[in-house]
Structure 1
Protein backbone atom coordinates (compact mmCIF):
# COMPACT_ATOMS: atom_id res chain seq x y z
CA UNK A 1 0.00 0.00 0.00
CA UNK A 2 1.57 3.26 -1.13
CA UNK A 3 1.31 6.21 1.25
CA UNK A 4 2.74 9.68 1.73
CA UNK A 5 2.55 12.60 4.15
CA UNK A 6 0.70 15.62 2.78
CA UNK A 7 2.15 18.98 3.91
CA UNK A 8 2.18 22.53 2.61
CA UNK A 9 5.02 23.96 0.55
CA UNK A 10 6.02 26.10 3.53
CA UNK A 11 6.32 23.03 5.78
CA UNK A 12 8.45 21.25 3.15
CA UNK A 13 10.77 24.27 3.03
CA UNK A 14 10.95 24.37 6.83
CA UNK A 15 11.78 20.65 6.95
CA UNK A 16 14.66 21.17 4.51
CA UNK A 17 16.00 24.08 6.60
CA UNK A 18 15.64 22.42 10.00
CA UNK A 19 17.22 19.13 8.91
CA UNK A 20 19.76 20.79 6.57
CA UNK A 21 18.78 18.62 3.61
CA UNK A 22 17.64 19.23 0.05
CA UNK A 23 14.15 19.07 -1.38
CA UNK A 24 14.78 15.55 -2.67
CA UNK A 25 15.58 14.20 0.81
CA UNK A 26 12.37 15.74 2.15
CA UNK A 27 10.44 14.20 -0.75
CA UNK A 28 11.97 10.76 -0.14
CA UNK A 29 11.08 10.94 3.56
CA UNK A 30 7.51 12.16 3.02
CA UNK A 31 6.84 9.58 0.31
CA UNK A 32 8.24 6.68 2.39
CA UNK A 33 10.76 5.87 -0.37
CA UNK A 34 11.86 2.24 0.05
CA UNK A 35 15.54 2.94 -0.73
CA UNK A 36 16.16 6.42 0.65
CA UNK A 37 13.22 7.15 2.93
CA UNK A 38 13.87 4.65 5.71
CA UNK A 39 16.83 6.32 7.43
CA UNK A 40 16.69 7.66 10.97
CA UNK A 41 16.72 11.20 9.58
CA UNK A 42 13.80 10.39 7.26
CA UNK A 43 11.83 9.07 10.23
CA UNK A 44 12.55 12.29 12.16
CA UNK A 45 11.49 14.35 9.13
CA UNK A 46 8.18 12.46 9.00
CA UNK A 47 7.57 12.90 12.72
CA UNK A 48 8.26 16.64 12.48
CA UNK A 49 6.00 16.90 9.42
CA UNK A 50 3.15 15.27 11.36
CA UNK A 51 3.73 17.69 14.26
CA UNK A 52 3.45 20.56 11.75
CA UNK A 53 -0.01 19.38 10.64
CA UNK A 54 0.97 16.82 8.01
CA UNK A 55 -1.58 14.16 7.14
CA UNK A 56 -0.75 10.57 6.20
CA UNK A 57 -2.49 9.79 2.91
CA UNK A 58 -2.99 6.42 1.21
CA UNK A 59 -2.87 6.14 -2.58
CA UNK A 60 -5.65 3.96 -3.92
CA UNK A 61 -7.68 3.65 -7.10
CA UNK A 62 -10.79 5.75 -7.19
CA UNK A 63 -13.88 3.86 -6.04
CA UNK A 64 -17.35 4.98 -5.17
CA UNK A 65 -19.56 3.38 -2.54
CA UNK A 66 -23.27 4.14 -2.26
CA UNK A 67 -25.53 3.07 0.59
CA UNK A 68 -28.97 3.03 -1.01
CA UNK A 69 -32.38 3.16 0.65
CA UNK A 70 -33.21 -0.31 -0.71
CA UNK A 71 -30.87 -1.94 1.86
CA UNK A 72 -28.01 -2.41 -0.59
CA UNK A 73 -24.48 -1.11 -0.60
CA UNK A 74 -23.10 -0.78 -4.10
CA UNK A 75 -19.43 -0.25 -4.79
CA UNK A 76 -18.14 0.70 -8.23
CA UNK A 77 -14.56 -0.35 -9.01
CA UNK A 78 -12.46 1.22 -11.78
CA UNK A 79 -12.41 -1.97 -13.90
CA UNK A 80 -16.15 -1.90 -14.74
CA UNK A 81 -17.03 -3.99 -11.69
CA UNK A 82 -19.95 -3.36 -9.35
CA UNK A 83 -20.19 -5.10 -5.99
CA UNK A 84 -23.74 -5.24 -4.68
CA UNK A 85 -23.94 -6.10 -0.98
CA UNK A 86 -27.28 -6.81 0.65
CA UNK A 87 -27.59 -5.33 4.15
CA UNK A 88 -30.34 -7.75 5.16
CA UNK A 89 -29.91 -10.74 7.48
CA UNK A 90 -27.89 -13.57 5.87
CA UNK A 91 -26.67 -10.94 3.43
CA UNK A 92 -24.82 -11.79 0.26
CA UNK A 93 -22.88 -10.06 -2.44
CA UNK A 94 -23.28 -10.18 -6.18
CA UNK A 95 -20.31 -9.27 -8.37
CA UNK A 96 -21.09 -7.74 -11.76
CA UNK A 97 -18.44 -7.28 -14.44
CA UNK A 98 -19.45 -5.09 -17.39
CA UNK A 99 -23.08 -5.56 -16.38
CA UNK A 100 -22.97 -9.37 -16.19
CA UNK A 101 -23.27 -11.19 -12.86
CA UNK A 102 -20.09 -13.25 -12.55
CA UNK A 103 -20.15 -14.41 -8.94
CA UNK A 104 -22.30 -14.58 -5.80
CA UNK A 105 -21.13 -14.74 -2.18
CA UNK A 106 -23.46 -16.01 0.56
CA UNK A 107 -23.55 -14.73 4.15
CA UNK A 108 -20.95 -12.00 3.72
CA UNK A 109 -19.42 -10.56 6.87
CA UNK A 110 -17.80 -7.12 6.97
CA UNK A 111 -14.44 -8.86 7.42
CA UNK A 112 -15.01 -10.63 4.05
CA UNK A 113 -15.34 -7.40 2.06
CA UNK A 114 -11.61 -6.72 1.47
CA UNK A 115 -11.12 -10.23 0.07
CA UNK A 116 -14.11 -9.81 -2.25
CA UNK A 117 -12.82 -6.40 -3.38
CA UNK A 118 -9.36 -7.80 -4.07
CA UNK A 119 -10.78 -10.66 -6.13
CA UNK A 120 -13.11 -8.33 -8.06
CA UNK A 121 -10.27 -5.92 -8.78
CA UNK A 122 -8.48 -8.66 -10.75
CA UNK A 123 -11.33 -9.07 -13.24
CA UNK A 124 -10.48 -7.90 -16.76
Structure 2
Protein backbone atom coordinates (compact mmCIF):
# COMPACT_ATOMS: atom_id res chain seq x y z
CA UNK A 1 0.00 0.00 0.00
CA UNK A 2 1.32 3.39 -0.87
CA UNK A 3 0.55 6.76 0.65
CA UNK A 4 -2.53 8.43 -0.83
CA UNK A 5 -4.74 11.47 -0.21
CA UNK A 6 -8.47 11.70 0.39
CA UNK A 7 -10.83 14.52 1.33
CA UNK A 8 -13.31 13.52 4.02
CA UNK A 9 -16.75 15.17 4.04
CA UNK A 10 -20.07 14.33 5.69
CA UNK A 11 -23.04 12.78 3.86
CA UNK A 12 -24.83 16.11 3.43
CA UNK A 13 -21.78 17.69 1.78
CA UNK A 14 -21.44 14.73 -0.59
CA UNK A 15 -25.09 15.08 -1.58
CA UNK A 16 -24.63 18.84 -2.06
CA UNK A 17 -21.60 18.23 -4.31
CA UNK A 18 -23.56 15.77 -6.46
CA UNK A 19 -26.39 18.31 -6.92
CA UNK A 20 -24.17 21.37 -7.36
CA UNK A 21 -21.97 19.77 -10.00
CA UNK A 22 -24.81 17.76 -11.63
CA UNK A 23 -22.81 14.58 -11.38
CA UNK A 24 -22.92 11.14 -9.75
CA UNK A 25 -21.84 10.03 -6.31
CA UNK A 26 -19.13 7.93 -8.00
CA UNK A 27 -17.72 11.02 -9.70
CA UNK A 28 -17.65 12.86 -6.38
CA UNK A 29 -15.92 9.88 -4.75
CA UNK A 30 -13.32 9.80 -7.58
CA UNK A 31 -12.68 13.53 -7.14
CA UNK A 32 -12.41 13.38 -3.33
CA UNK A 33 -10.12 10.35 -3.44
CA UNK A 34 -7.87 12.03 -6.07
CA UNK A 35 -8.58 9.22 -8.55
CA UNK A 36 -9.46 11.86 -11.15
CA UNK A 37 -7.79 15.21 -11.77
CA UNK A 38 -10.09 16.74 -14.37
CA UNK A 39 -11.03 20.42 -14.05
CA UNK A 40 -14.44 19.38 -12.67
CA UNK A 41 -12.78 17.13 -10.06
CA UNK A 42 -10.55 20.00 -8.97
CA UNK A 43 -13.64 22.23 -8.58
CA UNK A 44 -15.36 19.50 -6.54
CA UNK A 45 -12.33 19.27 -4.23
CA UNK A 46 -12.25 23.06 -3.86
CA UNK A 47 -15.95 23.11 -2.95
CA UNK A 48 -15.38 20.26 -0.47
CA UNK A 49 -12.64 22.29 1.27
CA UNK A 50 -14.97 25.29 1.45
CA UNK A 51 -17.56 23.08 3.17
CA UNK A 52 -15.29 21.87 5.99
CA UNK A 53 -13.72 19.01 4.02
CA UNK A 54 -10.66 17.57 5.74
CA UNK A 55 -7.65 16.34 3.78
CA UNK A 56 -6.46 12.95 5.01
CA UNK A 57 -3.16 11.32 4.13
CA UNK A 58 -3.50 7.55 4.26
CA UNK A 59 -0.27 5.63 4.76
CA UNK A 60 0.81 2.16 5.82
CA UNK A 61 1.01 1.78 9.59
CA UNK A 62 4.51 1.38 10.97
CA UNK A 63 4.61 0.16 14.57
CA UNK A 64 7.18 1.80 16.86
CA UNK A 65 8.05 0.41 20.28
CA UNK A 66 10.24 2.08 22.92
CA UNK A 67 11.30 -0.45 25.56
CA UNK A 68 12.71 -0.19 29.05
CA UNK A 69 16.21 -1.14 27.88
CA UNK A 70 16.44 2.15 25.98
CA UNK A 71 15.89 0.64 22.54
CA UNK A 72 13.48 1.81 19.88
CA UNK A 73 12.28 -0.65 17.28
CA UNK A 74 10.23 0.18 14.20
CA UNK A 75 8.53 -2.72 12.43
CA UNK A 76 7.91 -2.39 8.69
CA UNK A 77 6.13 -4.82 6.35
CA UNK A 78 8.20 -7.60 4.81
CA UNK A 79 9.98 -8.45 8.06
CA UNK A 80 12.04 -5.22 7.96
CA UNK A 81 12.98 -3.53 11.24
CA UNK A 82 14.95 -0.51 12.42
CA UNK A 83 16.57 -0.99 15.81
CA UNK A 84 17.92 2.09 17.60
CA UNK A 85 20.11 1.81 20.69
CA UNK A 86 19.41 5.11 22.46
CA UNK A 87 22.35 4.54 24.85
CA UNK A 88 25.00 4.87 22.13
CA UNK A 89 23.05 6.21 19.10
CA UNK A 90 23.73 3.07 17.05
CA UNK A 91 21.12 2.04 14.45
CA UNK A 92 20.73 -1.26 12.62
CA UNK A 93 18.50 -1.88 9.63
CA UNK A 94 17.45 -5.53 9.59
CA UNK A 95 15.59 -7.75 7.14
CA UNK A 96 14.44 -11.17 8.36
CA UNK A 97 16.65 -10.74 11.42
CA UNK A 98 19.85 -10.10 9.43
CA UNK A 99 21.63 -6.73 9.63
CA UNK A 100 21.53 -5.07 6.21
CA UNK A 101 23.12 -1.76 7.20
CA UNK A 102 24.39 -0.05 10.36
CA UNK A 103 25.02 3.52 11.44
CA UNK A 104 26.94 4.96 14.40
CA UNK A 105 26.42 8.32 16.12
CA UNK A 106 22.98 8.83 14.56
CA UNK A 107 21.09 12.03 15.28
CA UNK A 108 17.32 12.27 15.36
CA UNK A 109 17.47 14.30 12.13
CA UNK A 110 19.11 11.28 10.41
CA UNK A 111 16.26 8.92 11.28
CA UNK A 112 13.98 10.08 8.45
CA UNK A 113 16.52 8.99 5.83
CA UNK A 114 16.98 5.62 7.55
CA UNK A 115 13.20 5.16 7.59
CA UNK A 116 13.09 5.86 3.85
CA UNK A 117 15.74 3.16 3.31
CA UNK A 118 13.68 0.72 5.37
CA UNK A 119 10.57 1.56 3.32
CA UNK A 120 12.47 0.97 0.07
CA UNK A 121 13.83 -2.31 1.42
CA UNK A 122 10.34 -3.61 2.21
CA UNK A 123 8.85 -2.26 -1.01
CA UNK A 124 6.44 0.24 0.55
CA UNK A 125 6.65 3.46 -1.48
CA UNK A 126 5.72 6.73 0.13
CA UNK A 127 6.45 5.86 3.75
CA UNK A 128 7.70 9.00 5.44
What interval of TM-score do these two structures reach, taking the shorter chain for normalisation?
Answer: 0.7 to 0.9
Q: Does the 8 Å contact 1:30/1:37 carry over to 2? A: no
TM score, norm. by length of structure 1:
0.76
Q: Distance in 2 between matches of 1:109 and 1:38?
A: 43
- What TM-score, normalized to structure 2? 0.74
Q: Detail structure 1 runs of 4+ shifted over 6 Å in the superposition.
A: none
Q: SS of the counterpart of 1:122? A: helix
SS in 2 for 1:111: helix
SS at match of 1:21: coil
Deviation at 1:32, TM superposition (A): 1.7
Find out whether 1:81 has 2:80 as its counterpart: yes
**Paired residues, what number?**
120
1:119 aligns with 117
TM-superposed deviation, 1:120: 1.8
Any unmatched runs of 5+ in structure 2?
Answer: 123-128
Matched ranges for 1:69-108 at <5 A: 69-88=68-87, 91-108=89-106
* 1:39-79 Cα deviation digits (max 9, x unpaired): 2x433322332343332222322211123333322110011
Aligned-pair Cα RMSD in Å: 2.3
Question: Per the alignment, in what secondary structure is the counterpart of residue 107 of structure 1?
Answer: coil
**Which of these residues, 14, 18, 28, is aligned with residue 16 of structure 2?**
14
Give the C-alpha shift of residue 118 in structure 1. 2.3
Which residue of structure 1 lines up, in the alignment, with residue 65 of structure 2?
Answer: 66
